[in-house]
Structure 1
Amino acid sequence: MTAQNATPETATDFDVTAAWHVADPYPFLRRLRRERPVFWSDHLSMHVLTRYDDVRAAYRDHAAFSSVGSLTISRTLTDEVKEILGDHRSFLDDFAANVDPPKHTRMRRAISRAFTPRAVARLGDAFRAEVDGVLDGVVPKGKADFVSEIAHLPSARLAAVFIGVPPEDEDRVKHWVLSWFQLFLSPQPPDRQCELARDFLKYLDYVDRLVTERRAEPRDDFVSLMAELIDTGPDGLSHREVVETISALLLGGNDTVPNGLSNAVHRLLRERAVWEEIVADPALIPGMVEESLRIDGASLGSFRTTTRDVTLHGVTIPAGVQVLLHADSAGHDETVFPDPERFDIRRPNAREHMVFGYGVHHCVGAALSRLKMQIAFERLVARLPGLRLADGARPEYRRSMVGRGLTALPVTWRDG
């Protein structure tokens, strides 16, 4: 049986080009957890950890599982594309998620200044207004593609406002962000790689100019806050560190939350009784969000590189080898989450998932991401209680090494 004809029940390896890989990998991952918890993937050219306890332990042990280079994972770039990218093929080498302590500690301290509880609450208010603005435009239509017309717009707009991207540049930035994900995290033919690489360089050049402009003329935005820290001593940041921080946060705002929101809506509309529950009692939304992240997490996990030989379950991972910490598999580990394929919005330990990482590399924007999803659902159940999947809808997942995201989700409603 070829990889293309395999199913989660019959697959022998990961295959990001196969439809099942992101849409329904859980039977395959269950077999790995039981039979081969430390799995060498020929397709990914790395080891994969699938059990909850192993993933969590690896997140905590940054001395053995280094984050350096963890976001530079594409193994499919052609020599021509590598030449086009030059030094930038190691993009994000100076982003906090891509480094270890003590550099990570310094950078996280600086970035955290923008994510105080008060700042997160203020951003939540802005997001609520963005969601309502989007719904004002689509509710009269009676139908929409949830992914492109509802999920992505509020989060992308808020990310742009928070960072300091002018409104007239938002569409370009969104296009460049999509190019980044396609280039580095999904297999692409050679000609398409060249096109995406040129877009990526335009993106970096844009952010670089934005940082330079805000350093000269600060405004009330995140770019200005970060620019003020450039070359300010031992606790300051370099220009490149600021550029890569801004670039990475725009990536998250344009992708992670929208994917999580779309995945959750897809799950809820298939399990209609649960949707009706949260419509009747919105107080259930926070628990529903955590369970959605656990069972349909937008992120598959994180990449690490071993700094020494590591032996787990009788398998030795050599030093210098890449490892995928499969947080999505960990969220389905039956030893931690009983009956893991059941969508239980009252699950007492749902929040123990690792969609946002764990330990020192726990996502600095996790609180804001949770708040945005909660607000989105509060507005959806209030304004579109009759939301449902469109007749004949066939949702498809994008094919990616790292993210569970729908390319489209046709929905309809009887409201408004």
Structure 2
Amino acid sequence: MRLDPFDPGCGRDPAATWRRLLGEGPGVCLDPGLGLWIVAGYDNVRDVLGDARRFGTAATLTPVTPLTGAALALLTSVHMTPGVVTSDPPEHTRLRSVLRSVIPGTAGAVRERWLPVVRQRAEQMVDELSEHATVDLVDQFSRRLPLLVMLDVLGLPAEDATMIDHCSAATVELIWGRPTAAKQLPALYRFLELREYCRALVRVRLTTARPSPGVLGDLLTYRSGNEALLSVEQATALLFDLLTVGLTSTAAALGHALEHTLADAKRWGRVAGDPHHRTTLIEESLRYSPGTDGWLRLATTDTVISDVTIPAGSRCLVLLGSAGHDQTVYPDPHIFDPARARLSRHLAFGYGPHQCLGAALARLVLSTALGTLARRLPALRLGADHTRRFRPSVVTRAHTAMPATTADSRCLVPDGPAGAQR
């Protein structure tokens, strides 16, 4: 059982990749090419993600491609306080409760608080798209909308969007990609630039007399000057996590949802006026093409999964994408079918103690984005030159571009359908 997430073919047809992996054995094995233990299949993924005691998160931000020379020396010299992504219980439980205190806990509360923000940003971006006959839906929409919404939600200045986007992309490449030796140091500088930006912002907001806006302001208010409750470095780490992991997964998921929807003109025609169809379509897109294909864990003790022993100290790549293509849970998983049953069981937002706290906001962004686009640009179609290309990563499968036309044209996907259709 081998996996090469850096092979363009792997991302172009994920259903075939997951079908092959799930058909070759128990779904657990050491991949010598990656130097990681592969964990595939619905039950296996749930077992690992649900067991924070035996599978920790300490190595989540350790680069999967070993750094060399100056990059290795610099990263080794830097101490970074763990955030919610890289901490384990009991500290993770405490930090998660801090975030829960400032992030609405239900989909209804998320919608009430942030729908106006998401809707305004979506309308603004569609205004810009409508001025052009041809557009790139990734560069001009699916990457930028989640970023601007995240800045609004956190209370960060929109003028910092480009810098944050570049630093976040460099972080993904550095940690979960395959940067060449020449690219490692520049990517690390971007990584550290974003970390320092978060730290400086926290410190400035702490010294400001007037209340700070957004979730960051709520966090600092909750902190109430108590360093033991939430230190400056912990607040920095939480902000960094949201601007990297949280942002990347939503942007990738929106790109996939756009492609799946636009691959069928009838499907696109229903999105604007049928909220139920839009909801089920988004859930099926999350099952078929989650924003996060894999996540990293570190085995803290010898552990048996599907009769295979994973040794203590092993780094594991837990394939969330494969869980959505497990035919024991989803019949005919290669078929993209928004009407299928049990859609809510997908693991696109993880499982267990680290299940994504921002899932409701991500769903709100996806639904508002698709609904606004379909209502405002009903003739939007994928361009004839659209081919699937993705940023190489073991964690995310994010589109690099998605050319489209805003005038009426035939929907073409030269590389094959975005999943067999039903």
Question: Matched residues in 1 for 2:7 and 2:21: separation?
Answer: 18
- Among residues 71, 82, 101, which one is paired with 2:72 in the alignment? 82
CA 1:224 to 1:109, structure 2 compared with 1: closer, same or farther past 3 Å? same
| Cα deviation, residue 283, structure 1 | 2.7
RMSD: 1.9
Post-superposition Cα deviations, 1:337-390, rounded to whole Å, max 9, x if no partner, equal: 111011111222112111111111110111110111011111111111221111
| Cα deviation, residue 151, structure 1 | 1.4
- Among residues 69, 73, 78, which one is paired with 2:59 in the alignment? 69
| Cα deviation, residue 65, structure 1 | 1.4
Question: Matched residues in 2 for 1:294 and 1:350: separation?
Answer: 7
| Cα deviation, residue 87, structure 1 | 4.2
Partner of 2:83: 95
Letter matched to residue 181 of structure 2? P
Question: Matched residues in 2 for 1:212 and 1:231: separation?
Answer: 12
Asked if structure 1 preserves the Cα contact closer than 8 Å seen for 2:294 and 2:394, the reply is no
SS state at 1:393 partner: coil
Asked if structure 1 preserves the Cα contact closer than 8 Å seen for 2:65 and 2:177, the reply is no
Asked if structure 2 preserves the Cα contact closer than 8 Å seen for 1:32 and 1:39, the reply is no
1:9-408 equivalences under 5 Å are 13-36=2-25, 37-88=27-78, 91=80, 94-116=82-104, 117=106, 118-217=109-208, 218-228=211-221, 229=223, 232=226, 236-252=229-245, 254-279=247-272, 281-408=274-401
Moved more, 128-137 or 395-404: 395-404
SS state at 1:255 partner: helix
Question: Matched residues in 2 for 1:230 and 1:323: separation?
Answer: 38
Asked if structure 2 preserves the Cα contact closer than 8 Å seen for 1:230 and 1:238, the reply is no
SS state at 1:305 partner: strand
SS state at 2:85 partner: helix
Question: Matched residues in 1 for 2:38 and 2:362: separation?
Answer: 26
| Cα deviation, residue 333, structure 1 | 0.2
| Cα deviation, residue 231, structure 1 | 6.0
Question: Matched residues in 2 for 1:79 and 1:274: separation?
Answer: 51
SS state at 2:131 partner: helix
Asked if structure 2 preserves the Cα contact closer than 8 Å seen for 1:185 and 1:402, the reply is yes
Sequence identity of aligned pairs in percent? 29
Question: Matched residues in 1 for 2:343 and 2:69: separation?
Answer: 44
Partner of 1:9: none
Runs of 4+ in 1 over 3 A off after TM superposition: 117-120
Asked if structure 2 preserves the Cα contact closer than 8 Å seen for 1:278 and 1:285, the reply is yes
| Structure 2 residue ranges without an equivalent (≥5) | 409-422
Asked if structure 1 preserves the Cα contact closer than 8 Å seen for 2:110 and 2:361, the reply is no
CA 1:169 to 1:32, structure 2 compared with 1: closer, same or farther past 3 Å? closer
CA 1:233 to 1:64, structure 2 compared with 1: closer, same or farther past 3 Å? same
Asked if structure 1 preserves the Cα contact closer than 8 Å seen for 2:150 and 2:247, the reply is yes
Question: Matched residues in 1 for 2:22 and 2:160: separation?
Answer: 45
Question: Matched residues in 2 for 1:44 and 1:26: separation?
Answer: 20
What TM-score, normalized to structure 1? 0.91
| Cα deviation, residue 233, structure 1 | 6.6
What TM-score, normalized to structure 2? 0.90
CA 1:275 to 1:215, structure 2 compared with 1: closer, same or farther past 3 Å? same
Question: Matched residues in 2 for 1:73 and 1:84: separation?
Answer: 13
Post-superposition Cα deviations, 1:77-134, rounded to whole Å, max 9, x if no partner, equal: 113102223444x75x511122221111110010112211435532222011001001
CA 1:314 to 1:283, structure 2 compared with 1: closer, same or farther past 3 Å? closer
Question: Matched residues in 2 for 1:134 and 1:349: separation?
Answer: 33
Partner of 2:419: none
CA 1:126 to 1:54, structure 2 compared with 1: closer, same or farther past 3 Å? same
SS state at 1:401 partner: coil
Partner of 2:414: none
